[in-house]
């Protein structure tokens, strides 16, 4: 099954802003949007944003998600050391009848 496209790595400085992208097609991201997940080494993924771009309870307001066409974005402002992690997007693909994931972006906070 084809996946979503994410840049393998992004590096930004402390307190800067990082924008992560996730590109799919009209059958997945362009249809129902993408959820965003954060994963620290050795831990399970944690939901940061629902497919409708809303944040779950307890997720920092420094994070915001959006979508333009077939590309979803996650913006993190005021980067902190704890933001250093792997970030994945996930979407339901109505053509494949399957969940698809991005390959993940490793965010480094310098």
Partner 1 sequence: EVQLLASGGGLLQPGGSLRLSCAASGFTFSSRSMSWVRQAPGKGLEWVSSVSHNSGDILYADSVKGRFTISRDNSKNTVYLQMNGLRAEDTAVYYCADPADYWGQGTLVTVSS
Give yes or no for a contact between 108 and 10, defined as CB atoms under 8 angstroms apart. Answer: yes
Write the CA distances from 77 to 4, 5, 36, 46, integer angstroms: 24, 22, 16, 18
DSSP annotation string for 39-68: E-TTS--EEEE-TTSPPPTT--TTEEEEEE
Indicate whether 94 belongs to the interface with partner 1 (CB under 8 A).
no
Indicate whether 45 belongs to the interface with partner 1 (CB under 8 A).
yes
Indicate whether 88 belongs to the interface with partner 1 (CB under 8 A).
yes
The three-class DSSP label of residue 110 is: coil
Residue (64 or 77) nearer to partner 1, CB: 64
Residue (24 or 92) nearer to partner 1, CB: 92
Residue (27 or 50) nearer to partner 1, CB: 50
Considering only residues 23 to 42 of the shown chain, the ones binding partner 1 according to CB under 8 A are 35, 37
Query: What does the alpha-carbon distance between residue 49 and residue 33 come to, in Å, rounded to a whole number?
Result: 11
Indicate whether 90 belongs to the interface with partner 1 (CB under 8 A).
yes
Residue (14 or 26) nearer to partner 1, CB: 26
Query: Which residues partner with 85 through β-bridges?
Result: 107
Residues that bind partner 1 in the complex, under the rule CB under 8 A? 1, 35, 37, 44-47, 50-51, 88, 90-92, 97-104
């Amino acid at each position: 099954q084809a996946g979503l496209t994410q840049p393998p790595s992004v590096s930004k400085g402390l307190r800067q802003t990082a924008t992560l992208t996730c590109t799919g097609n009209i059958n997945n991201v362009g249809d129902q949007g993408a959820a965003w997940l954060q994963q620290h080494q050795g831990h399970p993924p944690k939901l940061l944003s629902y497919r409708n771009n809303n944040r779950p309870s307890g997720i920092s307001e420094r994070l915001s998600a959006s979508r333009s066409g077939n590309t979803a974005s996650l913006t993190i402002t005021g980067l902190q050391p704890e933001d250093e992690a792997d970030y994945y997007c996930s979407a339901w693909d109505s053509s494949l009848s399957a969940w698809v994931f991005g390959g993940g972006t490793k965010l480094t906070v310098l």
